[in-house]
Amino acid sequence: MLDPSRIRAITIDLDDTLWPIWPTMDRAEKALRNWLQPRAPATAALLAQPGRVRPLRARVVDAMPHLVHDLSAVRRELIRAALAEVGDDGALTEGACEVFFAERQRVELFGDALHALEFLSARYPVVALSNGNADLRTIGIDRFFHASVSAREFGVAKPDVRIFHAAAEAARAAPQEVLHVGDDAALDARGALAAGMQAVWVNRAGAAWPHEGAAPHATVDSLTALCRLL
């Protein structure tokens, strides 16, 4: 059971917790292809074919395993590899990345996200804890956050307990004083439990808990429901 009396800080995931990520990624990938179309049409065509992109991305990760925690770097190298695959100009990589990442920051928050952030940040230091590459300032919600810890900058990704402990340290709290909130049962809920935190699983789809063993301290179907718990 969730024990609100123990909570001194909140860590919260971003993608699919505060906004749906796949519509954002679909728009970013479309913007990337549209930019490439007049400059590198063969690359644009390649990137429109998931059956070609998936093995190309796997080759990039296999060749550069040190980048696996850095989704921005993986995306950059995927674009570079796609250009090389069809013989297009690799100098287009940086311009293509700028277009992709600019669109990637144009997220559409869930309807309950702003109210929840206002509620939480008025009561606790809130730390963003993400494996993704969202920029809180660009999105316009940085005012709600005491700090941000990302896999890209820290060097390891959730569910590694080290990144949870780093987020607790950023909040100036012990892990057992932190509540982690996130949508991913494995990366967020189980990772937080392993790190000694309380965990709330944001399960908007109403799915069954998919793992054996310890379950999160609470499961909610919205961020509004989370606020009610606290």
**Predicted local distance difference test score (pLDDT) of residue 63:** 95
d(CA 137, CA 120): 18
CB–CB of 127/146 below 8 Å?
Answer: yes
Tokens for 200? 């709330």
Domains defined along the chain, listed by start:
4-19+108-229 (3.40.50.1000), 22-104 (1.20.120.1600)
Taking the C-alpha atoms of residue 66 and residue 51, their distance in angstroms, rounded to an integer, is: 24
For 72-105, the pLDDT digits (tens) are 999 999 999 999 999 999 999 999 999 999 999 9
Query: What span, in angstroms and rounded, lies between the C-alpha atoms of 230 and 227?
Result: 5
Query: Closest Cα to residue 229, out of 197, 190, 202, 194?
Result: 202
Residue 39, phi then psi, degrees to nearest 5:
-105, -35
Band of the pLDDT at 222, cuts 50, 70, 90? very high
- Categorize the per-residue pLDDT at 8 as very low, low, confident or very high, splitting at 50, 70 and 90: very high
pTM of the entire predicted model: 0.93
CB atoms within 10 A of CB 79: 25
| Closest alpha carbon to 188 in 13, 6, 10 | 13
Q: Give the pLDDT confidence of 127-159 residue by residue, as tens digits.
A: 999 999 999 999 999 999 999 999 999 999 999
Chain length of the chain: 230
pLDDT tens digits for 152-170?
A: 999 999 999 999 999 999 9
Question: Measured between alpha carbons, how far is 230 from 179 in angstroms, rounded to an integer?
Answer: 11
- What distance in Å separates the CA atoms of residue 200 and residue 193, rounded to the nearest whole number? 10
Check pLDDT > 90 for residue 213. Answer: no
